[in-house]
Structure 1
Amino acid sequence: MFTSSYEANRKKLSDLLRCDDCFDIIERNIVISGKKAVIFYINGLIKDDIMEKLMEFFYNHTEPRYLSSAEEFCRHCVPYVEISVVDQPDEVVKNVLSGIPCLIAEGFTAAISFDMRTYPQRSTSEPEDDKVLRGSKDGFVETVIFNSALIRRRIRSANFVTKAMTVGSESKSDVIICYMDNKVDHTLLHDITDRIKNLDIANLSMNQQSLIEALYQKKWLNPFPKIKYTERPDVAAAVCLKGNIVILVDNSPSALLIPTSIFDVLEEADDYYFPPITGTYIRITRYLITIASVLLTPLWLLCLQNPELVPPVFQFVLQIEPTSLPIYWQLIIMELCIDGLRLAALHTPSSLTSAIGIIGAIAFSQFAVNAGWFTTASTLYVAFVTIANYSQPNYELGFSLKYARFILLTATYIGNITGFIIGIIILFFLLASNKTISGKSYLYPLIPFKPKELKKKLTRTRMKQN
């Protein structure tokens, strides 16, 4: 608590903020109507023009009777909208370190905070990895206030709630839970809210991923994603309007969508920006390509191991060049090489990315075939599954599909037809045993079977009017 001594209050805050050690934490001493005052703020995180106007007002203020308390001063003398009175020094420190200037003066037993913070940010342009052919072209940024405003702009309803919390004893990261109060599952909402409030961690070093792993520590052995991420505010708004929950974390340009099933992960905004028949075609095509990306190379390996079972119309798949490296190892090595190229492209300067991609494609295709490392067919099939992975933008699901291919390829290589069947059973078990954050089936509405809901997931139906 603050005391009635101005000097004691000023020194306490100065010591807590370590103003003498930090060049960017400013302790600005001023005089208001003959009384000493001080403003603490972070240089670079405030709106200079607003601060200049406030300082001008403070210097011209000539009513000392209103300086009897922080509440009186706010009520009669502060020409700014976003202000609050804070009577706890720790709360003042948190505000200042968040970019909110705080003022104390002689006669005050509390501080006044002015929310005039501004954060360096990039423009709200369309996300690079979540583009649409139609629809809005804005995207989330690293500032949580702007992200919540982008959703609020699309939902002009009093039922839309944004609940703010702070996580991390050191980082004190801002976390916002967004939901429609008249549609959300309140049991799930209270569970998530309580979990976040009771988190005992120092910081969210990896933003959203740190938050989710801290909330659900024992549910990550299954590779299939339990959370859907989006960088699109229109998608986040649509999810809220369906009754789901959106979590925003400061310094992260994406939102967490809860709960999430496998069908939710496979959905895209383009499904809804086109007429129902086109949206249905796009969605079904994505489902088929996703399934093909998992089954194509294991089925081809199975055909090569059992040529007598291949129908005559598909005999062409058996025509491969002679090579000393088994097909199984060719497929595995090429998968690893492609991941290596992807990592190399990610860390390559943008001016060289295209050149690296072209060189990599040539080196690991024609040259590798000519050298006798790989066959043309194996290169073709791996190229297809690699491109097919980009039919959906979810990175986590892409890696999950890759692990599924590894399981099927290994099971088929070891156990032939029996191994392929066992691999399919293992994958189905992983999908069926995976649970959403809410504890519901990951395959809903397939398991439990709800035909009407499943139809909505597989096809794009016309929007119903209220």
Structure 2
Amino acid sequence: MFRNSRNDGEITKTIHKNIEKNYQQLMETFENCFDIVKRRLTNIEGRKVIVTFSDGLVTKDSIAENVIRPFLGFSFDKEGFSPRNLEDLKEKLLTAVDIKPEADFQKAVTKCLSGDTVVFVDGYDQALIIQTRGWPNRGIPKPDTQQAVRGPKEGFTETLLFNVALLRRKIRSPKLKTEILQKGNLTQTDICMVYLEGAVQEELVEKVRKRLQDIDVEYILESGHIEQLIEDNPRTVFSTIGNNEKPDIVAAKLIKGRVAVIVDGTPFVLTIPMLFTETFQVVEDYYTRPYYANFLRILRVIAYVLTIMLPGIYVALVTYHQEMIPDQLLETLIRASEGVPMQPAVEMFIMLLLYELLRESLLRLPASLGSTVGIVGVLIIGEAAVGANLIGAPSVVIAAMTFITSAVVNSAIDSIAILRILLLVLAAAFGVYGILIGLFMILAHLCTLRSFGYPYMLPLAPIRWKGLKDSVIRTSTKQILKRKGLL
């Protein structure tokens, strides 16, 4: 009698030499699963075989040509062929490329549900796992979140194997290592850890490997799940793990000593560790001359400071520190705000809230409606609110400037939204002093953050002179391309 016990939904069966017992186990395991095909065969010598696969996740032509036809005897030689063990089947009969034996029934089931074909042969207590994955995919797309004028236009896809191949195409070295594991008790999602041997520190690789292995959840559907499960500081608003859609960015980070984590089913690849200075870096910085690249990086830093501080500074000045505003500008602001019933802080909070609502609606709506909603939200509603004296024109102008500056550093938009509201509240309560207190709190918090053991503010705090060559300001292209390793 075969073992068939269940513990929290887990299958604990074994593969038997008696193929009828294996078939019974398959029928019990895949009960009410119409998409699981269980094809029974008997070859010309009378040996029974069961071919099992998940319809929709495989290439049926490959199964028919490389699995079923050989077993039915079409590939036998004139003298006949009687396999003595599974190795004979692998080496002398089957024509598939990737074949592995498996003695664990649970692992065989997982492989079947992942798109592989599982073959049970009568007389053997092992199954053959044949790689026949071939589900529909959308090909190599153009990235949506990381637009670039110059450089490759290709992006990652939802298929893990394709994503690894894109990195192999960029780094053609045997030192590029790939380790795969499955996580999620129900989903058994494939997760691949990629690193460049010799460039990355072994302690970092071991730390990432251990955190991935320690994950114990029911399902993993996107790399964002992994990011939140393995990060050092889950309670911070700052991202301490990078995510990228472009293979050239991830390849460059691997060369610089990062570890990449690819999750099957998502085009976003994680890079570990992430430093705060990466917020102001884009891939085009390395494809253009350093002078213009540095000019753009400085603009991004200025835009980042303005987008989190500008609403708070405006509220602090017009509420508490009007003496710091030039007389003509102050007179203009007073005239523009006449008849508005709300305080500047309330106006600014409403405008920021409307801006976040507008941005969210533009992201969720179909592209055909997004432009229409943008025009209605920005022009019509804004103009009508000013004309009706519901909101002052200066608040609308400040909100518009904030919208522009935040788009420059879109990669940090999640933390920017929180910090902007925080500084606005402090400015409304304490004026400029509240903004200074808030900035000190933010800077102190940034200096306490770590990403897999690395200080988040490297190479600025603590200072690493070697790392400063590619921080807010980058050096010559020759020095950048010669540098390997994180610091």
Q: Does 2:422 align with 1:411? A: no
1:422-441 → structure 2 map (5 Å cutoff): 422-436=437-451, 438-441=452-455
> Within 1, Cα distance between the matches of 2:308 and 2:138?
37
Corresponding residue number in structure 1 for 2:268: 254
Shift of residue 93 of structure 1? 0.4
1:269-280 → structure 2 map (5 Å cutoff): 269-280=283-294
Write the deviation string for residues 328-381 of structure 1: whole angstroms up to 9, x where unpaired: 111111111121122222332322221111111123311110111111111011
The runs of 5 or more residues in structure 2 that have no matched partner are: 1-13, 483-487
Q: 1:314 to 1:189 in 2, by over 3 A?
A: farther
> Within 1, Cα distance between the matches of 2:63 and 2:19?
22
1:29-428 → structure 2 map (5 Å cutoff): 29-33=40-44, 34-54=46-66, 55-59=68-72, 60-62=74-76, 65-205=81-221, 207-216=222-231, 219-304=233-318, 305-311=320-326, 315=330, 318-319=333-334, 320-322=336-338, 323-394=340-411, 397-428=412-443
Q: 1:452 to 1:301 in 2, by over 3 A?
A: farther
Shift of residue 194 of structure 1? 1.4
The alignment's TM-score, normalised by the length of structure 2, stands at: 0.90
Q: Which residue identity lines up with residue 161 of structure 1 in the other structure?
A: K
Aligned residues: 459
> Within 1, Cα distance between the matches of 2:228 and 2:128?
36
> Within 1, Cα distance between the matches of 2:251 and 2:182?
23
Shift of residue 131 of structure 1? 0.9
> Which stretch of the first structure deviates more once superposed, 182-191 or 62-71?
62-71
Report SS of the residue matched to 2:455.
coil
Q: Which residue identity lines up with residue 431 of structure 1 in the other structure?
A: L
Percent of aligned pairs sharing the same letter: 25
Q: Which residue identity lines up with residue 310 of structure 2 in the other structure?
A: L
Q: Which residue identity lines up with residue 450 of structure 2 in the other structure?
A: K
Shift of residue 72 of structure 1? 1.5
Specify which of 21, 35, 38 is matched with residue 32 of structure 2: 21
Shift of residue 212 of structure 1? 2.5
Report SS of the residue matched to 2:140.
coil
> Within 2, Cα distance between the matches of 1:344 and 1:293?
20
Shift of residue 61 of structure 1? 3.8
- Whether the aligned pair in 1 keeps the contact of 2:275 and 2:458 (CA below 8 Å) is yes
> Within 2, Cα distance between the matches of 1:379 and 1:265?
27
> Within 1, Cα distance between the matches of 2:448 and 2:329?
35
The runs of 5 or more residues in structure 1 that have no matched partner are: none
Q: 1:155 to 1:317 in 2, by over 3 A?
A: farther
Write the deviation string for residues 98-134 of structure 1: whole angstroms up to 9, x where unpaired: 0101111222221111111022221212111111011
Q: Which residue identity lines up with residue 3 of structure 1 in the other structure?
A: H
- Whether the aligned pair in 1 keeps the contact of 2:241 and 2:273 (CA below 8 Å) is yes
- Whether the aligned pair in 1 keeps the contact of 2:317 and 2:431 (CA below 8 Å) is no
- Whether the aligned pair in 1 keeps the contact of 2:315 and 2:348 (CA below 8 Å) is no
Report SS of the residue matched to 1:365.
helix
Q: Which residue identity lines up with residue 109 of structure 2 in the other structure?
A: V
Write the deviation string for residues 391-433 of structure 1: whole angstroms up to 9, x where unpaired: 1241xx2121121111111111111232222122122122222
> Within 2, Cα distance between the matches of 1:222 and 1:49?
50
> Within 1, Cα distance between the matches of 2:478 and 2:398?
39
Shift of residue 52 of structure 1? 2.4
> Which stretch of the first structure deviates more once superposed, 178-187 or 117-126?
117-126
Report SS of the residue matched to 2:454.
coil
> Within 1, Cα distance between the matches of 2:332 and 2:427?
17
> Which stretch of the first structure deviates more once superposed, 48-57 or 329-338?
48-57
> Within 1, Cα distance between the matches of 2:330 and 2:201?
54
The alignment's TM-score, normalised by the length of structure 1, stands at: 0.94
> Within 2, Cα distance between the matches of 1:341 and 1:170?
37
Q: 1:15 to 1:317 in 2, by over 3 A?
A: farther
Report SS of the residue matched to 2:37.
strand
Report SS of the residue matched to 2:261.
strand
